[in-house]
Amino acid sequence: DAVISCQDLAMTYAEGSLRTHVFHGLDLEVRKGETVAILGASGAGKSTLLHLLGGLDTPTAGEVFVAGQKMSALSDAARGALRNRALGFVYQFHHLLPEFTALENVMLPVLLSGADVSEASKRSQSLLESVGLGHRLQHKPGELSGGERQRAAVARALVNKPACVLGDEPTGNLDEKTAATVFELMLALNHEQHTSLVLVTHDRRLARRLDRVMELHEGKLRQLSHDEV
By the criterion CB under 6 A, which residues form the site for ligand ADP?
13, 15, 20, 22, 40, 42-48, 136, 139, 143-148
42/75 with CB nearer ligand ADP: 42
Cβ 23 to ligand ADP shortest distance, Å: 9
Q: How far apart are alpha carbons 3 and 29 in whole angstroms?
A: 8
46/160 with CB nearer ligand ADP: 46
Cβ 46 to ligand ADP shortest distance, Å: 3
Which residues make Cβ contacts (< 8 Å) with residue 79, sequence separation at least 6? 55, 71
Q: For residue 166, how far is the Cα from the chain centroid?
A: 2
139/208 with CB nearer ligand ADP: 139
129/143 with CB nearer ligand ADP: 143
Q: How far apart are alpha carbons 141 and 99 in whole angstroms?
A: 8
Cβ 178 to ligand ADP shortest distance, Å: 7
Cβ 28 to ligand ADP shortest distance, Å: 15
For strands 35-39 and 61-66, give the pairing. Answer: unpaired
Cβ 45 to ligand ADP shortest distance, Å: 4
115/186 with CB nearer ligand ADP: 186
Which residues make Cβ contacts (< 8 Å) with residue 64, sequence separation at least 6? 4, 5, 6, 9, 52, 53, 55, 70, 71, 72
Edge-to-edge strand list for the sheet holding 18-31: 18-31, 2-15, 61-66, 69-70
